[in-house]
Amino acid sequence: MDSFTPADGTITMFSTTWCGYCTRLKKQLDAQGIGYTEVNIEEVEGTAELVEQINGGNRTVPTVIFPDGSAATNPSAAHVKEKLGV
């Protein structure tokens, strides 16, 4: 997971192309100017398993990793903003 820990002030978001919740969160983050790195779990080897580890065996997206190494599943943009302190 360390390789996916983002820089301060940004997040790493695990997603898929077909996930409506991912699309919504990306639009909200873009509107608020919050930076993120998107990782498609269907294209990047090993990331689907990482998401399953974080979510107790469930392949749930969006799963977000914060700079402090903590994670959240399907967080609101407000939660991301609060967690980042921006």
State the Cα–Cα distance between residues 51 and 47, nearest whole angstrom: 6
pLDDT, one tens digit per residue, over 7-38 is 999 999 999 999 999 999 999 999 999 999 99
pTM of the model: 0.93
**Residue 9 in contact with residue 35, Cβ under 8 Å?**
yes
What average pLDDT score do residues 60-85 get? 96
Please check the confidence at residue 1 and state whether its pLDDT lies above 70. Answer: no
Long-range contacts of 24-29 (CB under 8 A, 24+ apart): 25/62, 25/74, 25/75, 25/76, 25/77, 25/80, 28/76, 28/77, 29/77, 29/80
pLDDT > 90: percent of the chain: 94
